[in-house]
Structure 1
Amino acid sequence: MIKNKFLKRLLAKEDPTVYQLKDASLEPSLTTLDLIGLGTGMVVGTAIFTLPGIVAAEHTGPAVPLAFIVAAIGAGLSALAYAETASVLPFAGSAFSWMNVLFGEFFGWIAGWALLAEYFISVAFVASGWSAYMQGFLGSFGVKLPVALTGGFNPAKGSYVDILAAMAILIVGCLIARGIHQVSRVENTIVAVKLIVIIMFVVIGATAIHPQNYVPFIPAHRPGTTFGGWQGILAGSSQIFIAYVGFDAIAANTAETKDPQHTMPKGLIGTLLLGTGFFIAVSLVLVGMFKYSRYANNAEPAAWALRHSGHYLTANLLSVVALIGIFSALIAILLASSRLIYAFGRDGLLPSRLGHIDDKHVPDHALWLITVLAMILGSVFPFTFLATLVSAGTLIAFIFVSLGIYALRKREGVDLPEAKFKMPGYPVLPAISVVYSIVIFAGLNIDAKLLMIGWFVIGLIIYFAYGIKHSNLNQQLKKVVK
């Protein structure tokens, strides 16, 4: 009896009308263009300036575009599931809120906790990438910071804190505190400039391509490693999934979107197509300019490649735009993560103060909490370490949302609105999406898997020690029993 009662409590579902009422203080102002700006700002943020070189050196060799295509297929399937779910359940918190409605509070917390790892590490990862570009840019003018302030905690190299990463996160936190309408205008401008410079890199970089750098296109697999062959491509795809965090960053802002039934699917799918196209073009040019092994441990490979091929002016221009452009990725992730923390507070799973919304329609307490924590993480942990971890949370969220389509379809037109956009190929395609994400997850390195297990242990402790007792849903259930 007690066991059944406990299980019933874990699977208790939230009434979607409760979220509609609670999110009413958030201002719906985002258009399709704003969503594509946010998503593209994230997808072609730090990742496009950093990951192609790192993945080529560590996993794929010249075949890095194939890793982006493999990752894009998996992300595309998940994007279709996201598009349908976001249009039917337009709530802040994305997968956290959706799973609360579809599968119950416990699964909502698990999905939300995975998302928090994704966002938390992403903010730090992007800020670390910005710091690397800023140091490279300053170095080209002979300006160097003290080694102790140039990277995450690594006594062997003499670095202890990445002061520039912390500064970047703080600046973006202050910008977001001014309100989402101001943020979207800044974001769209930055993204437009960044795309122009990416096109410039592709055109100029193409003149410095040496065809021999593409041979062999798929290097032979090195036994006992994740380099070469299709094993390397799969491992590269797992690491590249950080680029597609942008999908959830868009969905987290659904409550602040105009006409989400139509706007959200266009924003998600538009981001996928635009981002993937740019990734393939940039990575092809990059590995053609220099042998892939020269990009090892290089957090600014695009600017480095231009400098070392004699295009100093364009390299410095790219660095300047990267410095500004990477802020667009920081804006997108910090915006999404603050909405997720707000959703935790809104539901009482974390202290209710985090659900506070100020007179600028900003969840200010949630924003400053994630800003301070990300500043600490981004300034202490090394860039390459963060890059290996972030994809795990993304993949878990993708699995949850794809599975959620089965529960969603049963309720559309019953107690939930009928979706204007539906994931094609039902019921087969959602299952393929789940399997695809599981296969990519299996390709992650052991550190990422072990740290995600540790993260979930912490999440379970918080849920059973605090969340399950203090959640608003628990208070509602107590009233029903009385």
Structure 2
Amino acid sequence: MKQLIARLLKQEDPSVYQLKDGQLEPTLRTIDLIGLGTGMVVGTAIFTLPGIVAAEHTGPAVPLAFIVAAIGAGLSALAYAETASVLPFAGSAFSWMNVLFGEFFGWIAGWALLAEYFISVAFVASGWSAYMQGFLASFGIKLPTALTGGFNPASGSYVDIFAAIAILAVGWLLSHGVHQVARIENTIVAIKLLVIILFIVVGATAIHTQNYHPFIPAHRPGTTFGGWTGIMAGASQIFIAYVGFDAIAANTAETKNPQKTMPRGLIGTLVLGTSFFIVVSLVLVGMFKYSRYANNAEPAAWALRESGHYLTANLLSVVALIGIFSALIAILLASSRLIYAFGRDGLLPSFLGHVDAKRVPNRALWTITVLAMILGSIFPFTFLATLVSAGTLVAFIFVSLGIYALRRREGKDLPEAQFKMPGYPILPAVSVIFSAVIFWNLNVDAKWMMVGWFAIGLLVYFLYGIRHSTLAKKG
């Protein structure tokens, strides 16, 4: 038993990751990281979640749910920034926990990240599909019902064909290298932010102040709607918006001067993203009564059309279609680097850790692309949104706890951090508690699904990973 415990807690030498990740080309700058992070944070979530969360949980108080989520995410972002500056490796929390706590905890953190990334790709593609269908419907074009959504025989839908096409297109784009993709991403994000500002300006002219009353509806007993119960439930679902932090951190090995660049990218993304979320959600719930956004995956464009702003609505839909692609780029890029890290360490088949002549891990990229196409085209949008939040919160808890192990080693066998999480040792603990409370407020299905996901992860590790990992080969 002692030997098994020692094996599970065996830590990776950071110099090994430095050597292996040296195959990847460091090309990303601060602006590229903010572009990738903002592309994800101000991506599908800003175009889809405010209306759904308002209808299901918060009523007009949806901005408060975004603020609560932002506080939790902000604390985690500080922990991410310090860790990434000291351990600039691909795979983010997976690689960091391997170095700080040992292979087993690295695998658990990585497995949580895989749920987060894997489902995020499908969720984002599902949101893109909803906007594409709404845009085409405004011209009287409709797909056969069987091809319009996830598997749901009761409604007649079986596969979301647009979601599958979107994932395939982004996979092909990423296979050509990070540098070219970063330029495309930055351009898309700039256009998207301009159109979001246009939505805010135009939407503000259609606000009816009575829609804000009562701002925090009374709690409905036995449900997650209303009061602070609703706000916390909304914050839990909204946490998917902040998966962008991991999307940035996963690319640390491909970042120029990550000690300075990574903290700037993470904190810049948080500030920019949260500001837009609060203003957009305020405008949205002011335009129509929150209940009208129930089950509406394209609330912003719908609100504009219902207000008679057809030109702006169609412009928003077009930019949402392009902009959600930027979120898909960011998260598919991050997920492929995580799969690469698993293969690099031998915890999944080593062919996934291969880097080709373009210095791109294309085997990992195409593996996650095909699997995400299947998931995104079969499972419904709201189901995916909840599961992503669960994986994100588990990863945030691990990274915040990791600060305690990191501080003991900085300036000794690890470099001194150029950015340090303030308020140590109090804030890392607050960050852990905050994420745990939000996780507890997820719906029961999400929590049980994560239990099932971790059970599968333990089987994979003990049946394959523990025997094939690079640490096992070292003896």
Smaller-chain TM-score bracket: over 0.9
Deviations 1:373-410 (A, max 9, x none): 00000000011111111100000000000000000000
Alignment partner, residue 415 of structure 1: 413
Alignment pair present for 1:281 and 2:279: yes
Alignment partner, residue 435 of structure 1: 433
Deviations 1:182-226 (A, max 9, x none): 110010000000000000000000000000000000000000000
Q: Measure the CA separation in 2 of the matches of 1:444 and 1:155.
A: 27
Q: Equivalent residues in 2 for 1:84-233 (5 A)?
A: 84-233=82-231
Alignment partner, residue 301 of structure 2: 303
Q: For 2:375, which of 374, 377, 381 is the aligned residue? A: 377
Alignment partner, residue 353 of structure 1: 351
Alignment partner, residue 25 of structure 1: 23
The RMSD of aligned alpha carbons is 0.3
Deviation at 1:356, TM superposition (A): 0.4
- Corresponding letter in the other structure for 1:389: L
Deviation at 1:353, TM superposition (A): 0.1
- Corresponding letter in the other structure for 2:310: Y
Q: Measure the CA separation in 1 of the matches of 2:455 and 2:426.
A: 32
Alignment partner, residue 41 of structure 1: 39
Deviation at 1:171, TM superposition (A): 0.1
| Structure 2 segments unaligned to the other structure (5+ residues) | none
Q: Which runs of 4+ in 1 moved over 6 A?
A: none
Q: Equivalent residues in 2 for 1:398-409 (5 A)?
A: 398-409=396-407
Q: Measure the CA separation in 2 of the matches of 1:431 and 1:156.
A: 46
Deviations 1:53-84 (A, max 9, x none): 00000000000000000000000000000000
Q: Equivalent residues in 2 for 1:312-327 (5 A)?
A: 312-327=310-325
- Corresponding letter in the other structure for 1:121: I
Alignment partner, residue 248 of structure 1: 246
Q: Measure the CA separation in 1 of the matches of 2:388 and 2:435.
A: 14
Q: Equivalent residues in 2 for 1:9-88 (5 A)?
A: 9-88=7-86
Deviations 1:238-287 (A, max 9, x none): 00000000000000000000000000000000000000000000000000
Q: Measure the CA separation in 1 of the matches of 2:41 and 2:314.
A: 22
Q: Measure the CA separation in 2 of the matches of 1:442 and 1:384.
A: 18
Deviation at 1:161, TM superposition (A): 0.2
- Corresponding letter in the other structure for 1:181: H
Q: For 2:469, which of 468, 471, 475 is the aligned residue? A: 471
The percentage of counterpart residues that share the same residue type is: 84
Q: Measure the CA separation in 1 of the matches of 2:166 and 2:352.
A: 23
Q: Measure the CA separation in 1 of the matches of 2:448 and 2:403.
A: 29
- Corresponding letter in the other structure for 1:221: H
- Corresponding letter in the other structure for 1:185: R
Deviation at 1:359, TM superposition (A): 1.1
Q: Measure the CA separation in 2 of the matches of 1:387 and 1:17.
A: 37
Alignment partner, residue 395 of structure 1: 393
Q: How many residues align?
A: 475
Q: Measure the CA separation in 2 of the matches of 1:44 and 1:379.
A: 23
Q: Aligned with 1:159: secondary structure?
A: coil
Q: Aligned with 2:418: secondary structure?
A: coil
- Corresponding letter in the other structure for 1:349: L
- Corresponding letter in the other structure for 2:235: S
Q: Measure the CA separation in 1 of the matches of 2:433 and 2:411.
A: 28
- Corresponding letter in the other structure for 2:176: R
- Corresponding letter in the other structure for 1:296: A
Q: Measure the CA separation in 1 of the matches of 2:55 and 2:405.
A: 42
Q: Measure the CA separation in 1 of the matches of 2:3 and 2:132.
A: 56
Alignment pair present for 1:341 and 2:377: no
- Corresponding letter in the other structure for 1:34: D
- Corresponding letter in the other structure for 1:76: G
Q: Aligned with 2:22: secondary structure?
A: helix
Deviation at 1:348, TM superposition (A): 0.2
Q: Measure the CA separation in 1 of the matches of 2:359 and 2:32.
A: 17
Q: Measure the CA separation in 1 of the matches of 2:246 and 2:177.
A: 20
Q: Measure the CA separation in 2 of the matches of 1:148 and 1:251.
A: 38
Q: Measure the CA separation in 2 of the matches of 1:89 and 1:335.
A: 19
- Corresponding letter in the other structure for 1:423: M
Q: Measure the CA separation in 1 of the matches of 2:203 and 2:118.
A: 33
Q: Aligned with 2:473: secondary structure?
A: helix
Q: Aligned with 1:350: secondary structure?
A: coil
Deviation at 1:170, TM superposition (A): 0.1
Q: Aligned with 1:225: secondary structure?
A: coil
Deviation at 1:361, TM superposition (A): 1.1
